[in-house]
Structure 1
Amino acid sequence: MLLGFTGNHFLAEERAREVLSARGVAWRDVPRVSGDDVRTDALAPLLVPSLFGEATVLVDLEGVKVTKDLTDLLARADATVAVLDPNGPATRVKLYEKHGEHHASPAPTKPGEVAGWVAGRARALRLKLDRDAAMYLAEVFSADLAGIVAELNKLAFLDVPTLTRDVVTRVVGREAPGDSFAMLGAATAGRPGEAAGQLRRLLASGEDPFKLMGAVVWQYSLVARCVALLQEGGAVNEHTAASRLGVKPYPAKKALEVARRLNEGKIRAHLRRIQDADQAMKSGQDPASTLERLLVSLSL
């Protein structure tokens, strides 16, 4: 029986544990083969039935170059083979379906999706985690679900009524990465300190100042187009804006949030300031200082 577990590695492993446990197999007793040990000569002896019955083996394909000889061996194995296959191309999915079972574990990718997953995991652990705290964990760990679970396990020992963002931040001890849309949003909302903080985190994480300026130019051009859409009248949400402007809903949503604070006069003034800052950076002025001054001017 070939059991293929594709998608996010952490979720795939959890699902494999559930499936094998339901079959009466003790997870701790299952030999695991991974990395350089995933070879036909090393696997073959493990796939042979013993006096105690059919063998069960866990094969982790993460980072492994999968050859035809290997898939042929797995397909004809007289054993229960649970395969962790994060990449899971269509050819191997068909192999799992033909010779056993395929279990997909797609990973949450967008920050909101990850935050929703965090909230669900916290409820399963009976933790009262507020929305901002879930979003903080999503921002800090992104798709590292195993890292998030490790932090939730630590937070379970705290004797507090609610796990707020401040509480979770103190325990985790990691600063959330900067967000260029949040940076612009804070600037246009008149919060230059918050905008500068976002800029500092972006630069500290290794973002190139000139690429950041390029992102500001692109995002503000999107904001300007959203301002024009809003001036046309009628209901405009992220989906209609995304369709009209040819972008995905998430950037459309963020651009709309900024655009709703502006009018044509303000957006024109902001675009001139952005152009001046761009020219200043290209003429040799300090990029970080120029970006920070730009954010202050956008908050006026």
Structure 2
Amino acid sequence: MAAAGRGAPRKTAGGRTLAWDQIRPAPVILVSGTQTFLADRAIGVLRDYLRAEDPSVEIHEVYADSVGPGELQTLASPSLFGEPRLVIVRGVEKMSDSFLADALAYLASPADGATVLLRHGGGVRGKKLLDAVRSAGDRGIEVACAELKKEQERHDFAAAEFARASRRIRPRALQSLVTAFSGDLAELAAACQQLIADTSGDITEAVVDQYYGGRAETTAFAVADAAVQGDYASALGGLRNALSSGVDPVPLVAAIAMKVRGLAKVSGSRGSSAELAKRLGMAPWQVERAQRDLRGWTDAGLGVAIQALADADAAVKGESRDPVFAVERLIGIIAAKGGVRGGRRAAGERPGR
């Protein structure tokens, strides 16, 4: 059983820890981590796989804090006709003492034809059971479902969604989509599936904009793009349109900061895009884009931009009575590649301040 994806397994004391999209049958499976969406995805993949293998599979779903003594063994034991069994135990981080004892006993001698899946959502409770699964050899595997905190991780997740469907999405379109749904992995997955279902051919940036151009983060990304490229008029116009439609200044500054951080990481680096991507923790196309955007920038200009970003970030988070002006000034500095555009206002000499 193998699902296409980019989750990389790592070694543990008992063997392999699998990514969510590498889940496979085993006597006992520990699905660990705080990322609920990925955990539910993994459980669904396993359930569908076992049903495809044998439609008669018996599926039981229980909660660890309400399972009675001996109930786990009963659910996993062969039935009269010997159908395969899948027992999904949720909330293992809230398990009772009796369940812990039963689970440890079961792990030592799993029932034939049964798969017991333990869903642990994080925390220290149940560590003894988790460690036992991790060191159980062939009797147990762990499937890790950690939060995807880095942009590159969300980028890889979305890319895998399209790869599984054998659909091509252009790099800029993928970046726009990931940026549009930076705060919710479930929404990002749903957006990927909607584009896969509703469109044909290559998915372009125009297609993504047609579906999700109203997302605040997408708007912020467009403003940041224009500013870094030196297109002051477009960046300022995009900013004012975004603000008039209710976009908060905070994600606007965050989007610009993301772009400038990419420039700073690539600036002065030597090597192929693949080499730099591996070294800097970026995708190759992101490196190539940053290399193009760096034209006209100097190290001194980047230093000015980074300081301006720090000032603007503080301003939009409560240190200024006029956060909109702070973003306008930031865009002037970024569009001038570390200089100043926009006259007195861009220079911070607003009357009455």
TM over 0.5: yes
1:235 and 2:261 aligned: no
- Residues in 2 aligned to 1:26 and 1:198: alpha-carbon distance in whole angstroms: 58
1:157 positional shift = 3.8
Which of 177, 194, 200 is equivalent to 2:235?
194
For residue 47 of structure 1, what is the aligned residue in structure 2?
75
Residue identity opposite 1:130 in structure 2:
R
Hey, which of these two has a bigger chunk of helix by percent?
1
User: Counterparts of 1:272 and 1:124 in 2: how far apart (Å)?
Assistant: 42
| Residue aligning to 2:86 | 56
Give the aligned partner of residue 42 of structure 2. Answer: 12
Matched, 1:127 2:164: no
2: CA distance, partners of 1:43 / 1:289: 66
Aligned amino acid, residue 292 of structure 1: E
Shift of 1:141: 3.3
Task: Determine whether 1:204 maps to 2:247.
Answer: yes
Distance 1:198 1:13 in 2: 43
Q: TM-score, normalised by structure 2?
A: 0.56
Contact 1:140–1:175 (8 Å) recurs in 2: yes
Q: SS at the partner of 1:161?
A: coil
Whole-angstrom CA distance in 2 between matches of 1:119 and 1:111 = 12
Q: Which residue of 2 aligns with 1:138?
A: 178
Mapped partners of 2:159, 2:315: distance in 1: 44
Q: Is residue 330 of structure 2 the alignment partner of residue 294 of structure 1?
A: yes
The amino acid of 1:40's aligned partner reads: V
For the pair 1:3 / 2:39, whether they are aligned, the reply is no
SS at match of 1:81: strand
Q: CA deviation at 1:58?
A: 1.0
Matches within 5 A, 1:89-238: 91-97=128-134, 98=136, 100-106=139-145, 109-142=149-182, 144-158=184-198, 160-172=200-212, 175=215, 177=217, 186-192=226-232, 193-194=234-235, 197=238, 200=242, 204=247, 207=250, 223=264, 230=268, 235=270
Partner of 2:103: 74
> What is the distance in 2 between the residues matched to 1:195 and 1:43?
66
Does the 8 Å CA contact 2:89/2:117 hold for their aligned counterparts? yes
Q: CA–CA distance in 1 between the matches of 2:314 and 2:151?
A: 33
Deviation at 1:134, TM superposition (A): 2.8
How many residue pairs get aligned? The number is 278
Q: Which runs of 5+ in 1 are unaligned?
A: none
Q: Which amino acid is the alignment partner of residue 39 of structure 1?
A: S
Deviation at residue 292 of structure 1 after TM alignment: 1.2
Say if 1:32 and 1:183 are closer, same or farther in 2 by CA, change over 3 A.
same
TM-score, reference length from structure 1: 0.63
Does the aligned pair in 2 maintain the 1:182–1:198 contact within 8 Å? no
- Counterparts of 1:265 and 1:147, CA distance in 2: 39
In 2, Cα distance between equivalents of 1:104 and 1:260: 44
Q: Percent identity?
A: 20
In structure 2, the gaps of 5 or more residues are 1-26, 337-353
1:85 to 2:120 alignment: yes
Q: 1:48 to 1:101 in 2, by over 3 A?
A: closer
Separation (CA, whole Å) in 1 of partners of 2:309 and 2:191: 40
Task: Give, in whole Å, the separation in 2 of the partners of 1:280 and 1:109.
Answer: 25
Deviations 1:101-154 (A, max 9, x none): 214245655333333332333232233433333333322334855444433443
More displaced, 162-171 or 39-48?
A: 39-48
CA gap of 1:208–1:168, structure 2 versus 1, over 3 A, is closer
